[in-house]
Structure 1
Amino acid sequence: MSQPRRRVPLSSTCAQPHHCPRPVRMQVLGQVPLFAGLSPEELDGVDRRMVSLSWAEGDRLYSAGKAADHLYALAAGRVKLSRPTGSGEPVVVDLLTPGDLFGGLSSLGQPVHEETAEALTTACALRIDPSGFRQVLLEDPPVALRVVDDLAQRLARARADVGNRSTGSVAQRVAGTLLRLADKVGQTSAGSGGTLLQLPLSRSDLAGMTGSTPESVSRVMSRLRKEGIIDSGRRWTAVLDRERLVEVAAGRHDGPPAP
């Protein structure tokens, strides 16, 4: 009889030192928008200030409400960001893939983490602390300027999200979220010719990502399935007709009504 897999306590201390080959580290850093356009020598300076760590599936990289004291660049695997709700049940707000920068620093206006980061699969990330990031900003002024631009864009996105959630229908928001996930983590499905999202997303997760309720999301997903725009199972969703899903997202499709 096989023994159950030993679980590491769910805390940020479950990070394990990990040997990530230098070519992989440099490739990952080159994908991070903040570091785009830096020379190999400049990227090497960023890399020297980072440590490579790994987490097993289900491990937390950090928890909501804890001090934000590191930035992470995901090198391998997938990580989900979730926020606690009033009921105590967390909802997924974003899914991260290699090249994504996440985490937070108080010096960037984020004293505590607003989300919990959890490894969906075995994951490896490069982590930098406040002093290391400060040195990067001092040595590479273009990065400092991008940080300012990034903060401005985050503020604009936050305002746009509030507007979209107050004006767009649930169907539009669900369709838009599915399209974004398809672009980010979708895989071409040979059988259906669509895009497969092999993710264990619950209706509560989609509700959290769209600012809706699980019941409203369920009704929209049911209508999208009946119309052949998507299909879904316990741990997967497939976008079968992207063009019609785009129309739903834009409010030009007379399919799933706003609940």
Structure 2
Amino acid sequence: MSKIDQSEKYINEKQLCFSCKNKAVSFEKLMYKELQEISEHKVHLQFRKGETIAKQGAFITHVLYLKKGQVKVYNEVDYRSNLIFSIHQSGKLLGLASLYGNDHFQYSIAALEDSLICAIDRKVVEKLIARNGSFAAKVLESVNMDLQLCRDKMVSLTMKQLNGRLADTLLYLSYDVYDKDEFELTLSRKDLAEMSGMSTMSVVRTLQEFQKEGYIENENHTVKIKNKKALHDLSQTG
């Protein structure tokens, strides 16, 4: 059975939100009838690696829940380059910052691996936020985390040199994305460049320098952080 066939079987078994064992943390605050309401106003979508999930400038009609997979959230600066804000694993609600006001996506979302998305009617989510204070608090917590990530990104890109920027990216991947010091890197060198505000050539050169200094090992798309303190020092000194 192929990966996509397995995904279809998974979807068919988990149609109802209240029976789903992989709900968003904020959805744990919803009552049975509220989860039933979401179940009646959502669709399941499958995306293959590399596919665009949401397009910058498109109308926002749904909040997106990443049920399975990995995605990148990025701004399309021009036709040649992007700026990647964040990488997300399964369990993340996407598009929350666009609720209550924005009619268009301010960024794009693309799949870094085969992914499953629950697309939930935006108006239903907004109504539940208005009715359920505990749910609203969890949604706000998620929005605040994303906002802090953007602030940290701004500091990194505007105040730090190349070594500090790439150190920030590697630490972010270790702490926030993969939650370990050795991980299979699903991002391309171009993705790393777009996360760090660098050229692809600069990323390749800086990775080689980090490996030469013994900060990391980087072989066969696997990165192992060997000296996290050194990366923290680079992040602090810029």
- Taking structure 1 as the reference length, the TM-score comes to 0.71
> In the TM superposition, what is the alpha-carbon distance from 1:43 to its structure 2 partner?
4.4
Aligned to 2:22, which of 18, 24, 28?
A: 28
Matches within 5 A, 1:112-127: 112-127=104-119
Matched AA of 2:231: V
> In the TM superposition, what is the alpha-carbon distance from 1:129 to its structure 2 partner?
1.6
Aligned to 1:95, which of 87, 100, 112?
A: 87
> In the TM superposition, what is the alpha-carbon distance from 1:38 to its structure 2 partner?
4.4
Matches within 5 A, 1:100-249: 100-104=92-96, 106-186=98-178, 195-202=182-189, 204-233=190-219, 236-241=221-226, 244-249=227-232
Output one character per residue of 1:25-74: Cα deviation in whole Å (capped at 9) or x when no partner.
63322xx3433544566545544433222223333212122122221111
Cα distance 1:40–1:195, how it changes in 2: closer, same or farther (>3 A)? farther
> Residue 28 of structure 1: SS of its match in structure 2?
coil
> In the TM superposition, what is the alpha-carbon distance from 1:195 to its structure 2 partner?
0.6
> Residue 224 of structure 1: SS of its match in structure 2?
helix
- Identical-pair percentage: 20
Matched AA of 1:213: S
Distance 1:233 1:247 in 2: 20
Report if aligned partners of 1:69, 1:105 keep a CA contact under 8 Å in 2. Answer: no
Report if aligned partners of 1:42, 1:140 keep a CA contact under 8 Å in 2. Answer: no
Cα distance 1:228–1:39, how it changes in 2: closer, same or farther (>3 A)? farther
Residue 13 of structure 1: aligned partner = none
Cα distance 1:173–1:95, how it changes in 2: closer, same or farther (>3 A)? same
Bigger RCO of structures 1 and 2 (CA < 8 A, at least 6 apart): 2
Distance 2:154 2:26 in 1: 25
Output one character per residue of 1:221-248: Cα deviation in whole Å (capped at 9) or x when no partner.
11111123223346x131241xx23432
Matched AA of 2:222: T
Report if aligned partners of 1:179, 1:246 keep a CA contact under 8 Å in 2. Answer: no
Gaps of 5+ in 2: 1-10
Distance 2:65 2:104 in 1: 18
Distance 2:146 2:71 in 1: 20
Distance 1:160 1:185 in 2: 15
> Residue 134 of structure 1: SS of its match in structure 2?
helix
Residue 43 of structure 2: aligned partner = 51
Report if aligned partners of 2:63, 2:120 keep a CA contact under 8 Å in 1. Answer: yes
- Taking structure 2 as the reference length, the TM-score comes to 0.76
Distance 1:152 1:109 in 2: 17
Distance 2:86 2:13 in 1: 25
Moved over 6 A (4+): none
Number of residues paired by the alignment?
A: 227
